[in-house]
C-alpha cells in the first residue's frame, strides 16, 4: 500500500459524458501527478500540481482539467468523453518538487471505460 488513494476504482460511462476522478496523496506529500495508461501501453504524464498550483503539463487534452484543493487532494475532470479516453488513470504523489530526487508513489488507479 503506497498511501495514495484513488476513487473510484472503476468507472463506466457513455461518450459525451463528464467524470471526476479523485486522488488523495500520501500524508505530507505536496505534489500530485496524473498519468494515463491506455491498454498495454506505458504511462503518459498528464499534469502535476504542487501545493495547490499547477507546476507542469504534459499530454493533457483540453477536454481534461485538474485541480488540487487546500487539503491537497486532487481531482481530474474529464469531459466530452470519447471511446479513446478509456484507460487506467493513475495518481502519484511526492514530497516536493524536482530540485532533488523525490520518489513518486503511485495510487492503485481508476479504470475508466467509455461505452
- Summarize as ranges the residues that interact with another protein (CB under 8 A): 2, 31, 33, 40-45, 48, 50, 55-56, 58, 88, 90, 92, 97-99, 101, 103-104, 106, 108-109, 111
Q: Which is nearer to another protein, 21 or 92 (CB)?
A: 92
Strands 10-13 and 110-114: parallel
Minimum separation from the CB atom of position 63 to another protein (A): 20
Nearest CB to another protein, comparing residues 14 and 42? 42
For the residues of 61-104, what is the DSSP string, one character each? -TTEEEEE-TTS-EEEEE-S--GGG-EEEEEEEESS-SSS----
| Three-class secondary structure of residue 105 per DSSP | strand
Residue with smaller CB distance to another protein, 14 or 40? 40
Amino acid at each position: 500500500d503506497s498511501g495514495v488513494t484513488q476513487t473510484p476504482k472503476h468507472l463506466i460511462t457513455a461518450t459525451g459524458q463528464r467524470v471526476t476522478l479523485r486522488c488523495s496523496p500520501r500524508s505530507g506529500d505536496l505534489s500530485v501527478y496524473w498519468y494515463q495508461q491506455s491498454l498495454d501501453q506505458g504511462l503518459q504524464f498528464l499534469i502535476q500540481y504542487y501545493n495547490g498550483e499547477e507546476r507542469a503539463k504534459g499530454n493533457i487534452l483540453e477536454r481534461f482539467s485538474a485541480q488540487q484543493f487546500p487539503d491537497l487532494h486532487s481531482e481530474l475532470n474529464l469531459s466530452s468523453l470519447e471511446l479513446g479516453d478509456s484507460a487506467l488513470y493513475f495518481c502519484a504523489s511526492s514530497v516536493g518538487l524536482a530540485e532533488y530526487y523525490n520518489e513518486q508513489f503511485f495510487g492503485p488507479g481508476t479504470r475508466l471505460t467509455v461505452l
